[in-house]
Structure 1
Amino acid sequence: MKILIVSDTHGNHKNLDKVLKLVPDMDMFIHLGDVEGGEAYLNAVINCEKHIVRGNNDFFSEFPKEEEFYIGKYKVFITHGHGYYVSLDPEYIVEEGRARQDDIVMFGHTHKPLLQENEDIIILNPGSISYPRQEGRKGSYMIMEMDKEEKLHFQQCYLD
């Protein structure tokens, strides 16, 4: 199973269009918020299972604030992250994930990629595909793959 994870497109779909050409065979799409008016666009171009949450700039969005679901045997919690103070430190959202007994916590908001694979929980942020803030300022996204033994593999990707 191949899963494309993005965040913080902010209504700018140019880089997302590039990524969709690079990853045409995804089984699931996850957007971690700040779609900013791109709801209809995402529904039109994504033809697989979708999980999308609203961010702090999605004022009139009907997407949920957060969602929990399973990917295989893994319990996943997705949220934009601003309500968990992720810009200061991801520890609060890590503790929230542990309290919920999640295996994977995904968030956006910071526009900076992050992958922490702890013994009991995986924390990830794909960064921003449209407005990156990390060193080098390349749009970023993540691909998560689950093999036949349900082992997870992560690839942090950057656009040129």
Structure 2
Amino acid sequence: MKEMRTLIISDTHGRHEGVDEILEREGEFDMLIHLGDVEGGEIYLDVMFECPKYIVRGNNDFFAPHPYEEEFDLGPHHIMITHGHHYHVSTGPEILKEEALSIGADVVMFGHTHRPYFEQDEDITVLNPGSVSYPRQEGRRGSYMIMEMDEEGDLKFEQKFL
């Protein structure tokens, strides 16, 4: 299995300065996952990332062509991505976590809250990278995550701040 490095971002809301900073700081990626509220930034993402992209529609992506959620396999992992507003993630990830487990996902990613979140147990990893452009957590620093998969298919997640 090939090692992979994936950038996970959310809630850019059409602002790209933070993504530019991430690319300058981190270099290239093998995959991009955007968890919604792109707000018209699709062309920018296509130009800046020459890798496979998974992008879901957020509650502010009114005319976006993206699905509200997506599932895919990455090595031995089944991953579900969604913006999260349909699962009421603002009150907690419990409903989303139940749904992800019911479809056999072992990783579920969401956005919407603009706050980083990470929970991992033996059944599932639940994460939110926070918002690159409009952070709402204490300190209000833009945030993102990097997911690395090694040759054995093991995943490692790192929360980062601008």
TM-score scaled by length of structure 2: 0.96
**Distance in 2 between residues matched to 1:150 and 1:98, nearest whole Å:** 20
Equivalent residue for 2:48, pick from 42, 45, 48: 45
Residue in 2 that maps onto 1:79: 82
**1:149 lines up with 2:152 in the alignment:** yes
Give the length in aligned residue pairs: 159
- In structure 2, the partner of 1:19 is 22
Please state how far the C-alpha of 1:42 moved relative to its aligned partner.
1.0
* C-alpha RMSD of matched pairs (Å): 0.7
Tell me the equivalent position of 1:92.
95
Residue segments in structure 1 that go unaligned for 5+ positions in a row: none
Aligned AA for 2:41?
A: G
Q: 1:29 aligns with which of 32, 37, 40?
A: 32
**Counterpart residue identity of residue 73, structure 2:** Y
Q: Secondary structure at the match of 1:78?
A: strand
TM-score by structure 1 length? Answer: 0.97
Match of 1:120 among 109, 118, 123: 123
Distance of aligned partners of 1:93 and 1:109 in 2 relative to their CA distance in 1, 3 Å threshold? same
5+ residue gaps, structure 2: none
1:61 aligns with 2:61: no
Q: CA deviation at 1:118?
A: 1.2
Runs of 4+ off more than 2 Å: none
